[in-house]
Each structure stands twice: as structure tokens, then as C-alpha cells.
A and B are shown apart, each in its own frame.
Chain A
Amino acid sequence: MLDLYLPIAEVSVSAPLLVVLGAVVGFISGLFGIGGGFLMTPVLVFLGIPPAVAVASEANHVAASSTSGVISYTRRRAVDFKMGAVLAAGGAVGAIVGVEIFRWLLLLGQADLVVSLSYLVFLGVIGGLMLVESVQAIVRRRSGQTTGPRRDRRPVWLYGLPLKVRFPRSRLYISVIPPIALGIFVGVLSAIMGVGGGFILVPAMVYILRMPAAVVVGTSLFQIIITTSLASLLQAGRNQTVDIVLATLLLIGGVIGAQFGARASARFRAEELRALLAIIVLAVGINMGIGLFLTPEEPFVQISGAG
């Protein structure tokens, strides 16, 4: 049959299902410039794959679909490599710190709680804010109002900080401190939540760094490749939790889906895309978080890290 036994996850799963899942998440990844880990990791856990293996192997899938997507954006000159590198440098530091925090939480037995809370809080807040903003933008446009001049009132602190660097592709001249801090923050979260962090980076680049919308998605994908490749390597090297068969099945679908996603993104308006992403982000956040408030059917849970 088409079921495959995964050598590291040590469970048997349907291979076509994984390819299709990879393709769907890859499409979303290419469309929005997010890794898609926040969607895929919960699904893999639901399929019975041990969470540690799901998180580590998913990083590999995200690296693949982001590579597939980023090349399309590069051709459209829609990647700010300099900004991406700065974000990724912060992300690498954050990921290393985050992996240590995660190990500590695992030992405490509170990893589940922190993961669920992180999903609820970050996805809820970001999804909510993005939904409100994008719906307002859509309503403004539909009601015939001119969108008005782009709000170029950048926060003072962006200009007040030292170590200013020019980012020509983004038409920015700002301190490197905010992007590095953002990278670190996203890196920590990505290690804890098992995600690439695109869902935080995309809105942060738009609303905090005020980067032009055209380069946001490509730049986000570029920085995701670097951090997820590093995360995947660290997970394999330290924890032996990357399942190469699982990752390969997911990325076969993922790289193809990402191509269609990247193409489709040109056909939508930016605010419509953001509204759609906001809804997905909110739904996943609520879904992950709601379990914290419902009386569990089974009061006992097995947690990894024994022995």
C-alpha cells in the first residue's frame, strides 16, 4: 500500500496524504511569504507523529518551500537580501537561545502549555490586528475613498537609534537594532513554536519597519530559509529528531505548491491577502489555545524527555 513507515518518527503514515499536505501548505507559504510551519506542525502532531520529530522535520519542509518561492521573488527583484541577512543574523541567535529555553521547558514538563499559550497569544494578537487593519483597508478602497498617501510617519525610535544602515531595496535608512531585535524575537519563538516565524515577520516588516509591501514577502522567505536550515541542522545534530523521509515527502509537495502560491500572489491585492492570512492565523491560534480552557478527556499526558 501507500503507507510508509518513517524511520525516525517510528510510525506509519500515508505517503500521498503527506505530499498533498505539503503542497497545500507550500501554496500558502508561497502566497503569503510565511513558512507555513504554524499550520503544518499541529497537523503532523494530529497525525500521530511525535511533536519533537514534527517540529524538526517541518523546519526542513519550510526551508524547501521557501527556497522554491524565494527564487520567483528574486526574479521580480522583490527580495531585500541585506535586510534578510540582518534579520537572519538575529534569528540565528534567537533560535539557539530558543532551543535552550525549549529544552528547559521540556524538562519542567511545561512545554505543551507554553506552546499552546504562544500559539494563542501570538497568533491571536497578530491575526486580530492584521484582520482589523486589512478589513479597514478593503472597506476604504471599496467605498471609493482614495487610500490616501502611504502613512510614512515612521516611529521616532526607528530613526533615533544609532548604527544606521542603508537598505536600498527597501528604501530605508534605519538603525540595525530594530531588525536584529525582531530577528532574535522571531528566532526564539520559532524554536519554541516550531515555526519559521513568517507570520510574525510579515506584519512586523509592514507595520514596524515600514518596508514597502512589494519586498516584504520575498525578504521574509529569504530569512526563513536561513533560520529553518539552521534549525533543521541543529535539531538533527543535537536531538536526532529530523525524519528525512517525512521531510522529503512533505517537501515534494511543498516546493510545487510554493510555485503556484508565488504566482497566485500577483493576482491578489495586498490587503486582501493580508485579510486571508489574518483569518488563517486567527483560526489556528484559537484552535491551538482553546484546549487550555476545556476540561481534558484524559487528565494524564505523556511528555517527552524521559531517560
Chain B
Amino acid sequence: MVIKKRSVIALLLVLSLALLLVGCGGEKQPAGDSAAPEAQGEKMKVGFIYVGPPGDAGYTYAHDQGRKYLEEHLPYVETKFMESVPEGAASESYIQQFVQEGCDVIFTTSFGYMDSTIKVAERNKDVVFLHCSGYKTAENVGNYFGRMYQARYLTGIVAGKQTKSNLIGYVAAHPIPEVIRGINAFTLGVRSVNPEAKVKVVWTNTWYDPVKEKDAAKALLDDGCDVIAQHQDTPGPQQAAEEKGVYGVGYNSDMSKMAPKAVLTSAVWNWGPYYVETVKAVKEGTWKSGSYWGGLKEGVVGLAPYGPMVAEETKQLVEAKKQEIIAGKWDVFTGPIKDQDGKTKVAEGEKLTDSEILEMNWFVEGVIGTIPKKK
């Protein structure tokens, strides 16, 4: 009996220690929590819900950089975040918790939080919610995302110029419009400078599995590809390219540190300025609900610095296209564009609308691969 009690206590101890450490890892300690706010008056509280750990060196990392940028640029803001929050209905209680803790603005940064965000927002009209990558809005819920496809197109130009085998591998995540759109934009970029080149696609059905994603890149490399692009959050595919002595294009954040000899550039998110602008607007009372879809022009997406192997000529080509997009003279999905079977999808002079871009479920000409059919 005594032994049993002791063991229960010991177990509880370890469990609580474990939870404590998980908690420590996750929660941000606001600097000078107890002393500072009183001195400067009430601070504005901004909460962030993350789908992964900020340490993923990818998607969540980029959001977290944005959070830090926000804290640096608006001294009256105090931020909190919760990491690795499950998507779907389970996320509701986490979002509610931030409301309880007195957050004025809450950013929910992944697609799967959409319905929970709307639900919590209905109950808490005095809090502003911003949901990333979804399509629902409400009076106090806005959504936001970036035109990553514009940056993808530019990286395509770089890859198309670099390839010698005219075969480029694309390690794709899940078969959803966001990923398909990226592959298409990238391929259009590649073929704008190198019409002979083709882009081979392999699906991993993961967002975050360094081993599996590296394996997928290896398969593409064995198949003759000499540039590897990717959509997942880990640098696994870039490391595979580095080991093979060929090139790669990173995603989410600058991946050149992980594979310095391979990474040509990376298509990156830059959330900081958007977060500052939005929180400022809320503070000043000028914020209105809506859908924000910023691109190169707004600086939400961009390219990481080039690797030393990228030629000057390529950089100029990219710069020219970039300026065209920023000026609004041209966008990526402007015709003529053919699909995989050679059928014209977008006629010359036409342009896909935003909703067509958001629902894209077909590959452009030059992509080798199939989109798994939904039953």
C-alpha cells in the first residue's frame, strides 16, 4: 500500500515536471511582466496560435519572426503565443483561453483554426481575430494570407536558369490548391526562361517530417533532377540536394544556412510589416474586417538572399519581373496558359481571378506528376 502511494506521488511529480517543461518551452515570458505595464499604462495584448513549434525553421518560424518584429516596432504591444496547437474543433478552447487572458487581437495562423476562430469570435465581439489562409470572415474576424505564388514564380526563373538536365524536382506537401498553385507558378517561372525544362512532382503528404521529405528529394535526384524545390517546413530536401552536389530552392524562411552550397534562394514569408500595420489599425480604431492577400508589392512574400552560384544575368531577369508584378502591370496567371494535356486553360490576354487562383486543382503544361483524386 505504502509503496503504491509513493509511486503515485512520484508519477505525479514527473508528470507535472514534464508539463511544466512543455509549458516553459511554449509560453513566452513577457519581459518585465510585473513591473513594466503599470509604468507605461495598460499594454495591448496580442496572441498568436501556432500550428507547429517556432523551432520548425519553417512556417511557424516565419510567423514567430513576425511576432518578434511586431513586439520590436510597437512598444505598447505585449505578445503571447501557443505552439503546436491541434487544428480542428480542439483549437477552440485554446483560442478561448487567449480571450480569457485578455488578448485584444488574436492571430490564428493555420487553415484548420478557421471554424473555431469564427465560433470564439461570435462570443467575444470586443476582440479582433485574424485567421491565416482561410476564406471565412465575420464582423470581428478578418483573414489574411500572401500571394506566395508570385515569389514562387521568381524562384522558378532562378531554377530554370540553373538546371542543366532540364529536370527539376518538386517535393510537394499535400494535394491542396495552395500547394498546386505554388507548383504551377514555379513551373511557369521555370519555363519562361527555359521552355525545355520540366518539373517533376512527388507528394509526401506531410508538412513536417525531415526524414521523409529528404527521402522524397533523394528519389527525385536519382531520377535525374538537378534542382529541388519544396513546399514543406523542413530543410530535408535542401540537405539532400547539398549532399548530391546539386541545387535547391527553399521555402518559408531562408534555408541557405542548412545547405549553403545548394540553396539558390528561398521563397519566404515576411509577416512583420503586416502584423504591425494590422495591430496599429486596431489600436487606432481604423481596422475593418476583410480579406487581406498581400504579395510582393506589400512585402509579405519575397526572396531570400541569393547563393553565390546564381548568375548576375539571372538576378536581373528576376528583378525585372518583380518590378513588373509590383507595378501591377502583369501577374503570374496571365494567359496564354495551357494545362498538362496541352489544352488552353487561360487564353491570351486573359487573367485568372483571385477565386480561380484560390481553387486551382489542375497542373500547367510542363509539370510531370498527377494530383491524387479525391473520392
**Do A and B interact?**
no
| Chain A residues near B (Cβ < 8 Å) | none
| Chain B residues near A (Cβ < 8 Å) | none
